[in-house]
Structure 1
Amino acid sequence: MTTALTQQLVDLPVIEVLYSDLDNTLLGPEGSLLTGPDGRPSARAAVALVDAAVGGLTVVPVSGRAMPQLRNDARLLGLSDAIGEVGAVILRDGRTQYEWGECPGGIARNPHDTLTATGAVDAVLDAFPGELRPYEPWHRGREGGHLFHGVADVDAANDALAAAGCGWACLRDNGRTGGWEGRSVRAYHLLPRGVGKAPAVADDLAARGLRPEQAAAIGDSVEDLTMAPQVGAFFMVANGHDAPGTIRTPGGMGEGFADAVLALLAHRAGATRDNRQAPAPAEGTVVPSTVLVVEDDEMVADVIRISLTAEGYDVAHVTNTAAALSTIQASPPDLVLLDIMLPEVEGWEVLTQVRSQPHTAHIPVVIMTARTMPADEVRGYNLGASAFMRKPFTPDELLAQVDGVLQDTPRA
């Protein structure tokens, strides 16, 4: 699953930034970070944000939300940068940048106020009396454009704008929405022409000094798909539109975002290793032939596999306790990386069995866990664990742990 995703990234350099749509992509149902696409609690998207931060992958949310709201949302997500109002406003390094497009300058302090001052807002509302209105409360605080809801003919609205001398502005249909009791309505953005998610991404990359192939994007809609030509890889979450040339994630909503992050981190680890010479092992160090990864999360396992194989290790992978014990008995590895939270039987049983058999008792076992209870660490060391690694960890932290444990363990 993850291998298929990473294989589609193989020709790209290190990916430095991921532009992510927010609603129905990074966030789950009802805009929740902690709800999976099936409506059940899920921490995968939250963990992916931590993994990205630890692994050096910058995540930039790209949303139609008003910038004051998006600034706060980004802060809650642990993110410093954002692109808001469908690409009309960019927040980077604490500074706000407006995307003016064809909007005339020198009239007002931002595009939102310019649309008001030039009569563009009145032209649209007057064209649909009683049918279109500001979308409360979501239109408040906007800086780059206006948000309406109701029922409008976009072509007729744009004709009205041109007739009012505001042909530099345009109305865009943003799809079905609510908020108008008893009516089926849609949301509409009023923006300067030339403004959108795609040009905002292009301008943001230029400001960062990055090439398109050093970035990826992910989304669920046709509007999100416009970012694809500006980046090296575009992921479409499982709940999104079918589109050729995109990388389809196995999961939807927040879980699809997590799929993309882990694939990018796996690729990032491999590309980084390919672009630098591996350090020579210290004198007397025995380089292991095999590392067995016991991990039921395929994405996590793929990150580990790519990181270790890039350093010359042979990596085997199993997903449950029974397969781990069978593999260890048939062909003892030089080291075991063991997840504790495995399906059916927890990983403690693997550690117990390895230590109880004379021909496997010498094998170092490194516990990988997201648990933070001190009792787990005490239990692990009492059972004979060689070391603990707290998830999430970076590829460099993984390699340092594996190298260190193996250097301290004589080969049988």
Structure 2
Amino acid sequence: MPDIPLLAESPAALAALGRATTLYTDLDGTLLGRGGCLLVDGDGEPSTTAAEAVCAVNRAGLDVRIVSGRNRAQLTEIARICDWSGFIAELGCVVVTARGEHPVYFTGDWPDGALAEGDTPFAVIERSGALTALQDLFPGRIEPHGPYQVDRTSTHVLRGCVDLDAGRAVLAGLDPPVDLVDNGIIRPPRHTLAGCEEIHAYHLVPAGVTKQRAAAR
């Protein structure tokens, strides 16, 4: 990956930033410090740096959009606290253009008709048998990641230690196709997994859904 210059070292980047009207930000490891806290830094030390940055972008009049794997209810509260409006939740599946408005589901490469009126991507993925297919392929090595699995309308959150490519290959054959996204290493306080030295969080999403594609819509 090429080095990304600091803004102070790139007049062109500074000029481009000066023309920006919308800012997209993730949460964990980006806006938030250790433990998902706004008022600590990456080392867990008390810090107001992120809060001051929130005030700065608000004073500048930027339209800030949170883009996160968290669910709609969580992002609604974070957006309210920061005095921001729209956001993209559940890894790109749930798009809310303004706080308080009804969400729009982005289902990536699913064919027309895959999501019926009144249905949710979460329910469609559940009916597809995606979780069962993964548990059959990786017995004892993947399970729902409670309590983060609740209150979701699009993605399923799992934890485990699996071969990502093998899992994705199985899910691609479902109707409609589903994708498996690795969201990094986690340290759950409790689980029922077997033989996992390193546990990862995973999301089941409609095939073709990404944060980038959702933001570009």
1:140 and 2:145 correspond = no
1:261-410 equivalent positions in 2, closer than 5 A: none
After superposition, give the CA deviation of every residue in 1:294-338 in whole Å (9 maximum; x if it has no partner).
Answer: xxxxxxxxxxxxxxxxxxxxxxxxxxxxxxxxxxxxxxxxxxxxx
Alignment partner for residue 214 of structure 2, among 200, 225, 229?
200
Q: What is the Cα deviation at residue 150 of structure 1?
A: 0.8
After superposition, give the CA deviation of every residue in 1:328-385 in whole Å (9 maximum; x if it has no partner).
Answer: xxxxxxxxxxxxxxxxxxxxxxxxxxxxxxxxxxxxxxxxxxxxxxxxxxxxxxxxxx
1:84 and 2:89 correspond = yes
Match of 1:8 in 2: 13
Runs of 4 or more consecutive aligned structure 1 residues displaced over 3 Å after TM superposition: 180-183
After superposition, give the CA deviation of every residue in 1:168-195 in whole Å (9 maximum; x if it has no partner).
Answer: 2111211111214585311111111110
Match of 1:149 in 2: 159
Match of 2:179 in 1: 170
* Amino acid aligned to 2:119: R
Match of 1:211 in 2: none
The separation in 1 between residues aligned to 2:176 and 2:135, in whole angstroms, is 15
Aligned CA-pair RMSD: 2.3
Structure 1 residue matching 2:104: 3-state secondary structure: strand
Q: What is the Cα deviation at residue 162 of structure 1?
A: 4.1
Match of 1:209 in 2: none
Q: What is the Cα deviation at residue 116 of structure 1?
A: 0.9
1:184 and 2:198 correspond = yes
Alignment partner for residue 108 of structure 2, among 92, 101, 104?
101
The separation in 2 between residues aligned to 1:170 and 1:2, in whole angstroms, is 35
Q: Is the 1:81–1:91 contact (alpha carbons within 8 Å) kept by the matching residues of 2?
A: yes
Q: Is the 1:16–1:58 contact (alpha carbons within 8 Å) kept by the matching residues of 2?
A: yes
The separation in 1 between residues aligned to 2:137 and 2:22, in whole angstroms, is 42
The separation in 2 between residues aligned to 1:3 and 1:162, in whole angstroms, is 44
* Amino acid aligned to 1:175: G
The separation in 2 between residues aligned to 1:69 and 1:13, in whole angstroms, is 30
Alignment partner for residue 28 of structure 2, among 20, 23, 27?
23
The separation in 1 between residues aligned to 2:89 and 2:128, in whole angstroms, is 23
Q: What is the Cα deviation at residue 127 of structure 1?
A: 2.2
Q: What is the Cα deviation at residue 108 of structure 1?
A: 6.0
Alignment partner for residue 39 of structure 2, among 27, 34, 37?
34
Q: Is the 2:143–2:158 contact (alpha carbons within 8 Å) kept by the matching residues of 1?
A: yes
Q: What is the Cα deviation at residue 121 of structure 1?
A: 2.9
Report the count of equivalent residues.
202
Q: Is the 2:172–2:207 contact (alpha carbons within 8 Å) kept by the matching residues of 1?
A: no
Q: In 2 relative to 1, CA 185–195 (structure 1 residues): closer, same or farther, beyond 3 Å?
A: same
Alignment partner for residue 57 of structure 1, among 56, 62, 66?
62
Structure 2 residue matching 1:136: 3-state secondary structure: coil
Q: In 2 relative to 1, CA 140–6 (structure 1 residues): closer, same or farther, beyond 3 Å?
A: farther
The separation in 1 between residues aligned to 2:138 and 2:216, in whole angstroms, is 34
| Unaligned 5+ runs, structure 2 | 1-5
Q: What is the Cα deviation at residue 4 of structure 1?
A: 2.8
Q: In 2 relative to 1, CA 46–13 (structure 1 residues): closer, same or farther, beyond 3 Å?
A: closer
Q: Is the 2:7–2:14 contact (alpha carbons within 8 Å) kept by the matching residues of 1?
A: no
Structure 1 residue matching 2:28: 3-state secondary structure: helix
The separation in 2 between residues aligned to 1:6 and 1:99, in whole angstroms, is 36
The alignment's TM-score, normalised by the length of structure 2, stands at 0.83
Q: Is the 1:111–1:143 contact (alpha carbons within 8 Å) kept by the matching residues of 2?
A: yes
Structure number having the greater helix percentage: 1
Q: What is the Cα deviation at residue 39 of structure 1?
A: 2.9
* Amino acid aligned to 1:191: V
Match of 2:137 in 1: 127
Structure 2 residue matching 1:184: 3-state secondary structure: coil
Structure 1 residue matching 2:24: 3-state secondary structure: strand
Structure 1 residue matching 2:51: 3-state secondary structure: helix
The separation in 2 between residues aligned to 1:2 and 1:42, in whole angstroms, is 22
The separation in 2 between residues aligned to 1:49 and 1:5, in whole angstroms, is 23
* Amino acid aligned to 1:88: C
Match of 1:47 in 2: 52
